[in-house]
Amino acid sequence: MSADDSVFTGAVAKFYETYMVPLIFEPYAAVMVQQMTAPDISEVLEIAAGTGVVTRALADGLDDRVSIVATDLNQAMLDQAAAIGTARPVEWRQADALRLPFADASFDAVICQFGAMFFPDKVKAFAEARRVLRPGGQFVFSTWDRIAVNEFADTVTTALQSVFPADPPRFLARTPHGYHDPSAITLDLARAGFSTPPQISTVTARSRAESPHVPAIAYCHGTPLRDEIEARGNLDHATTAAERALAQQFGTGAVDGKIQAHIVSVRS
């Protein structure tokens, strides 16, 4: 993984919330909250909260007595999340998942939607989640399945290969869709100190948008793929090529593509 893969700037954060969240993250937010089955939850930690789509689902779906701390490595993402707000108070805090600034056994549950793929040391991040969990607490996280079964991302990646044949941007395949092997996930959790095997379910959903322009903008402008494109050439030209490829594959009107992810649940 590139050192820049986990950097979401202010410009990316706005496009991320406007385009990426409704396109691929909202379909899984409520599903993630439903996975939280630890009894008597009173304190929840979210890591890699992004612009707060799961945070908002937590605030809506959990009892008002449950406190929620939402963290992300990138302050720009938290600023965007805080500006949108939640149904009830949430503590927003900048934090690195590899060095969580919380005492041992501080939380009943830890949740992380589509953030694990970005951790440069996944075992260390998982060990930190385990450290801050109380005995019997629950760690729930999700990862995207391989890019071939996530249709919009695959189409955009293929389109950019034709734009930059000598050095195609590989961010989507390398990072968001680069940690999809359940056996590798299970091994990393064991190395992090989780003694019980995780429950891993594969969940398929649909990614929908009013036109192919939306996923083209979402992926090319609302992720670190933007930096890879700009390092190679013109962002608008690449986005147009991605939009054209999406239109050829899914039509010029409203588009509908398959997305697929793994949801992992493990007890401390």
For the domain that residue 127 is a member of, what is the CATH number? 3.40.50.150
In a domain, 122, yes or no: yes
Strands of the 43-46 sheet, one edge to the other: 91-94, 67-72, 43-46, 107-113, 133-144, 255-267, 199-209
Q: Which domain holds residue 103?
A: 10-147+171-205+260-267
In a domain, 142, yes or no: yes
In a domain, 165, yes or no: no
Q: How far apart are CA 49 and CA 54, in angstroms?
A: 7
In a domain, 210, yes or no: no
| Cα angle 213, 217, 220; round to 5 | 135
In a domain, 59, yes or no: yes
In a domain, 154, yes or no: no
Q: Domain count of the chain? A: 1
What is the reported pTM? Answer: 0.93
Q: pLDDT tens digits for the chain (268 residues)?
A: 554 545 555 567 788 899 999 999 999 999 999 998 767 899 999 999 999 999 999 999 999 999 999 999 999 999 999 999 999 999 999 999 999 999 999 999 999 999 999 999 999 999 999 999 999 999 999 999 999 999 999 999 999 999 999 999 999 999 999 999 999 999 999 999 999 999 999 999 999 999 999 999 999 998 989 999 999 999 999 999 999 999 999 999 999 999 999 999 999 9
